[in-house]
A and B are shown apart, each in its own frame.
Chain A
Amino acid sequence: MTQAPERESETKPSRLAPVADGAVNVIFREPGRFFAMSLDTARAAFKWPFQWQEFLQQAWFIVSVTVAPTIMVAIPFGAILSLQVGNLIRQLGAQSQTGSTAVLAIVREASPIVTALLIAAAAGSAICADLGARKIREEIDAMEVLGINPLHRLVVPRVLACAFVGLFLNGIVSVVGIAGGYIFNVMLQGGTPGAYMSSFSGLAQLPDLYQAEVKALVFGVTAALVASYKGLTASGGPKGVGDAVNQTVVIAAMALFVENFVLSALYFQLVPQKGM
């Protein structure tokens, strides 16, 4: 009997002046919430116990959705680089350096970019769809009510799995890409195997590989965070999940390309380059 029955029942105008959706929301609120979630995830990553089972399952799952497409993309990527760069280099009269340019292009740039795209498209969309479906089925809410932090339980293992798999994907792209380039150069362009091999370390150096691995790691973390954020904030039923997946792929891909640029620029500033 807390409420008197004779309350005036006119529609009251809202006393609240909420921040409108639209531009402000897109420019400030969403990124703000994304970073807040990322920080919470970082904090949750150090909470015990680590979810090994979820991590392994997710890592395996990400491998299963990314490896085949990665290889399929890496082969033509290596070949197209050989075709483009090989022609140019031949015209410049430096055919013996074909191998070194291929290695440089593939290890430094192509493989992180292919990895980035595959992680954003294949792993990111899968993570977002999974979490989004759980969100709209109220599974995430149920988990929270059962006293379990979904960031700790679901997001941390996914982010780490994505980063972990990213490292290896980058390796695969490098190996397959260079192999593709070699086959294309030697078998189709009439290059000499020995020259291709011996010029491998002409321009490339070990830090090239390190920076590529750092990139892959960062890309994996970013894509998983974007996908998790989008999945966990999905709303509006199945269509909402579809939209979230779509946005994940677009946003993650854009973010990864920006990161790629920043990391490359940093790399050139920080690591001295090898001359010929």
Chain B
Amino acid sequence: MGVEIRVDGLTKSFGRQVIWEDVTLTLPAGEISVMLGPSGTGKSVFLKTLVGLLKPDRGHCWIGDRDMPHLREHDLYETRKLFGVLFQDGALFGSMNLFDNIAFPLREHTNKSESAVKKIVMEKMEMVGLVGAERKLPGEISGGMRKRAGLARALVLEPEIILCDEPDSGLDPVRTAYLNQLIVDLNAETNATFLIVTHDINTARTVPDNIGLLFRRELVMFGPREMLLSSEEPVVRQFLNARKVGPIGMSEEKDVSELEAEARMGHDPGVLPPIPPQLMPADGRLRAAQRAPGEWLRAHGVTPPAGSFVDEQGRDWLEEWPRYVAERTPVAGGAGGGRP
């Protein structure tokens, strides 16, 4: 079962430059969350602060009863064993081949025999589609392969919290789709808590249970997927729909005159696009954290945009859902897809 992460009033600055201030959010145990934000808003810094690689100026980050920024070194290293982290470029050890890279955590932290190590490593390599590349050095493979190897290494110790820094950047759309499916499947299987930093709007719209958006040195919004996808908040709306119209500008934020000019030109944000159905585990089971489509919207009296929750096959998941749930037994707990 995954672990809850409670972030409370976290503030980070480098010298005079404030990266973000007073970030408060809870990553619910066992759920997939996505952190969005324009380039340079400190999403990676946020990720690194969660694992204690960077010290925040203020605030707490609770993993159970342990506060990451204020742990003693020994406890910090112990707590980090709960984490699997995929870094932006994979962060593989350049002197080791892929097999040794992926086997590294097992050899360091377990007493498994070499044959057991091999079995686990090969299993993970197959999972990320790297079979046959065991003997390659990280310098000899493409960025996408490095990233997948990094993911495999992050997974070998079966962590309870998985943090991914842009798993989809530099990957082609097909591989990204596979990777997204892999994340959902892993979550169904292990119930680990996921936090994914991404720029990929499609990933953000379909994969997570929760979405957060960092902009202008603060957390603009964090909440269930449906809340953000149906939000009229200009920044959220602009970002999640990849529009030019809105407060986010090329450099950072648009100034008043730009916004006025935009209004004069008659640019309006338009209607919200339909909310896509959430990605389901490939083997058809239900994740413990799975929520019924439209649950949040109904609870808050929000009408979804027309055509929401209709998948590529034309099935309307609002109708399909009760039948789908009735057909299968959920993995653990969350019957009917409700939150516990």
Residues of A within 8 A of B (CB): 1-3, 5-7, 9, 11-12, 14-16, 18, 20-21, 133-134, 137-139, 141-149
Contacts and interface: CB of A to CB of B under 8 A. Distances in A.
- Among A18, A21, A145, the one with the most B-chain Cβ atoms within 10 Å of its Cβ is A145
Nearest to A142: B91
Interface string B82-126: 010101110111100000000011001100000000000000000
A14 B218 CA distance: 12
A139 B93 contact: yes
Nearest to A151: B73
B295 interface: no
Contacts of B48: 141
Contact of A146 (B94, B104, B216): B104
30 contacts: A1-B222, A1-B223, A1-B224, A3-B24, A3-B25, A3-B222, A3-B223, A5-B220, A5-B233, A9-B220, A12-B21, A16-B18, A16-B57, A18-B13, A18-B16, A20-B15, A133-B94, A134-B93, A138-B87, A141-B91, A142-B85, A142-B92, A142-B150, A145-B53, A145-B80, A146-B80, A147-B77, A147-B105, A148-B77, A148-B108
Nearest to B16: A18
Contacts, number: 100
A73 B15 CA distance: 44
Interface string B8-37: 000101011010010011100000000000
B70 interface: no
B236 interface: yes
Interface residues of B, number: 49
A139 B235 contact: no
Contacts of A142: 85, 87, 91-93, 150, 153
B247 interface: yes
A16 B48 CA distance: 21
Contacts of B25: 2-3
B57 A145 contact: no
B80 A2 contact: no
A144 B93 CA distance: 12
Given A12-B217, A145-B51, A139 B81 contact: no
Contacts of B77: 144, 147-149
A133 to B, nearest CB: 8
A2 B223 contact: yes
B278 to A, nearest CB: 17
A138 B26 contact: no
Contacts of B21: 12, 14-15
B247 A9 contact: yes
Contacts of B81: 147
B231 interface: yes
B109 A138 contact: no
A147 B109 contact: yes
A5 B236 contact: yes
A5 B25 CA distance: 13
Contact of B92 (A2, A16, A133, A139): A139
Interface string B194-229: 000000000000000000000011111111100100
Contact of A11 (B26, B216, B235): B216
Contacts of B233: 5-6
Contact of B15 (A21, A143, A145): A21
A134 B227 CA distance: 41
